[in-house]
Amino acid sequence: MKDAFRRKSLPTYEMHCQEFETRLKAQVDFPSPSRVAAEIIELARDPDIEMAKVAQAVSRDPAIAAKILRIANSAFYAQRRPSQNIRQALIIIGLNAALTLALSFSLVQPFRGVRTVGIDYPRFWRRSLLAATAARAFSELAKVGQPEDIFLAGLLQDLGVLAVDRVCRDFYAGLPAGATHADWTAYEIQHLGRDHAVYTALLLRSWNLPERICQAVEHSHKPQALRGTTEEGQYARCIALGGDLAEAVLCAEYSTRIGLLARRAQLFFGMSHELFNEVVARILSLIPETEALYETSILDAEEAEDLLAEARELLAVRNLHALQELSALQATTSVLLTRTEEAEDSSRRDALTGVFNRAWLDRVLDREFTQAIVFGRDLSIAHVDLDRFKNVNDRFGTQVGDAVLRNCARALQSCVRGSDLVARYSGEEFIVVLPGASGDIAKQVAQRMLTALAECDHSEVAGDLRVTASIGLATCSMKHRFASTLELLEAADHALYAAKLCGRNRYECYEDLADNRRASVGGRRCG
């Protein structure tokens, strides 16, 4: 492309950057913001601006007022009830959006009559409007920045081209026919040392536009120069994506550029191919309104269909690859998942008995207690202690004792529901958590556990040995409330102690003990 530039044998425009900027600022025939635009800029800088002042300023230009009213009722905002006047429109779209959109109308209009040699003028404005619409859609779907600010920045990002042409008359005449946006910037850097984004930002600053817009435009060709976590960096990335999409459409290079654009959107915002497809659909939905508002044509039906078809094809290809990758990884994933589940379950289990361990008990009990309090549900627990288990260890040894513990744990598990939890509390003690179980249901479960333990067969390890248990029950209910899981556990332990005192191989319920406390002896009563 540089060889093509040289063959034109045009005058050389190389000059010092400072000199060029001085000449740019000195231009007197370059359009400046209108009186209404200047007033809008000033209003936008006031953080305490009132709705009435904005409405008054916008109303001074009937054309702008009509456009604001139309945009409030358009696909940009999709309101159910149409706005009937400018105040309603301002309420719907917001002050910042109104100021920004009004500014875009009033700033762009004076430049519509500026013509340059070497630039395809209709293509220039089509690109500007398409890039602005696309940048807005990217910001909406990526949920970054203010869409109206980004639209304005995208719309004005190439005004530096017109400014450069005013300082160096017919500067772009050296460009070959059909020159792209990349050709413009390469040509500018070759002759001026900078591209038009810098000069656009210079103009916007001279008009006192917000610095976030100026910086975003200045870095729109190299958005990575700004951190992606900053507002300016996010704006610049949206503008860059909008410009890329506009160029892809105008160059009709869908197959190559759309794929690159999707990857760039993923890099900038982590945007999936599905979300990228939504962006394209959103752009196409906004274009008719943008065309009407700015009284020009942006896309014809064929271009719109080609763009949407390419985005859909990109998504289809991506989904096909995803399915292939999923199929290839399915077996490995299944194995890893099984191993992970096994490892997680193992970490929750008591190594000796196979029931849940103390750590997992604490976690589950805290969760169930919270839900019982919040939703007003019953929660019962049973504290099970094997009777005189020390005698088993002393008589048969710890190995036999361990086998007996495992048998007893299995017996307890056979008595509860799948939603219940059996955990080893310590030594020969177990806690059984019964979510949703009332005191009466807990008593039924306790009786089943007593029977199952007494009938448990230990003949393989200890002949005709029989092991019984004492059980203490406590129920958190609307009638009997507890301040914490610790208090609930202490209540069950209190009932367990009562069961031991009353002869073992039985259960006692804390609520019954509490109700009969005055009639008990020494603060305890055996049922």
Residue type (1 letter), 40: I
Place of tokens 């909406």: 140
Q: What is the set of domains in the chain, with CATH numbers? A: 2-28+114-320 (1.10.3210), 32-113 (no CATH), 358-519 (3.30.70.270)
The yes-or-no verdict on residue 457 having pLDDT over 70 is yes
Rounded to whole angstroms, how far apart are CA atoms 93 and 77? 7
* Strand, helix or coil for residue 208: coil
Alpha-carbon span 298 to 290, nearest angstrom: 8
Per-residue confidence band for 166, with pLDDT thresholds at 50, 70 and 90? confident
Concatenating the DSSP letter of every residue in 130-195 gives: HHHHHHHHHHHHHT-S-HHHHHHHHHHTTHHHHHHHHHSTTGGGGSPTT--HHHHHHHHHHHHSS-
Rounded Cα distance between 300 and 229, Å, is 36
Distance between CA atoms of residues 371 and 335, nearest Å? 34
* 385-420 as b/e: b if 16+ CB within 10 A: bbbebeebbeebeeebbebbbbbbbebbbebbeeeb
Task: Report helix angle 254-269 to 301-348, nearest 10.
Answer: 40
CA distances from 374 to 361, 369, 442, 477 (A): 20, 9, 21, 11
What pLDDT sits at residue 316?
54
CA distances from 86 to 49, 52, 95, 133, 180 (A): 16, 10, 12, 23, 40
When pLDDT is cut at 50, 70 and 90, the band that residue 527 belongs to is very low
| pLDDT for residue 34 | 65
**Mean pLDDT, residues 292-312:** 66
Q: Which two tokens stand for residue 181?
A: 């946006």
* Nearest to 75, CA basis, from 348, 293, 263, 349: 293
Q: b vs e for 475-497, b when ≥16 Cβ sit within 10 Å of the residue's Cβ?
A: bbbeebebeebeebbebbbbbbb
- Identity (one letter) of the amino acid at 131? A
Band (424; pLDDT cuts 50, 70, 90)? very high
What confidence tens digit (pLDDT) does each residue in 20-76 have? 677 776 665 565 666 766 777 777 666 666 777 777 777 777 777 777 777 777 777
**pLDDT grade, residue 508 (50/70/90)?**
very high
Question: Measured between alpha carbons, how far is residue 423 from residues 362, 437, 480 in Å?
Answer: 10, 17, 24
Contacts (Cβ under 8 Å, ≥6 apart) of 129:
155, 290, 291, 294, 296, 298
**What is the helix (H) or strand (E) element at residue 392, kind and residue range?**
helix 389-396
| pLDDT (average), residues 299-328 | 56
Prediction pTM value: 0.52
Residues with Cβ within 8 Å of residue 258, at least 6 apart in sequence: 248, 307, 310, 311, 314
Please tell me the predicted confidence (pLDDT) of residue 302.
66
Residue-wise pLDDT for 334-366, tens only, equals 555 556 555 666 688 898 999 999 999 999 999
Residue-by-residue DSSP string for 312-328 = HHHHHHHHHHHHHHHHH
Mean pLDDT of the chain: 80
pLDDT in tens, 190-207: 888 889 999 899 888 887
Which structure tokens are listed for 245? Answer: 């999409």
- Assess contact for 476 and 372: CB atoms under 8 A: yes
Is 374 exposed, middle or buried (CB count within 10 Å of its CB: 0-12, 13-18, 19+)? exposed
3-state secondary structure 292-316: HHHCCCCCCHHHHHHHHHHHHHHHH
**Tokens representing residue 319 in the block:** 């989904």
Res 331 pLDDT > 70: no
Place 115 in a pLDDT band, splitting at 50, 70 and 90: low
Sign of CA dihedral 278, 284, 290, 296: positive
Q: Which two tokens stand for residue 166?
A: 């005013």
Residue with tokens 């096994």: 342
Query: For residues 89 and 243, which has the higher predicted lDDT (pLDDT)?
Result: 243
DSSP, res 175: S
Of residues 89 and 359, more confidently modeled? 359
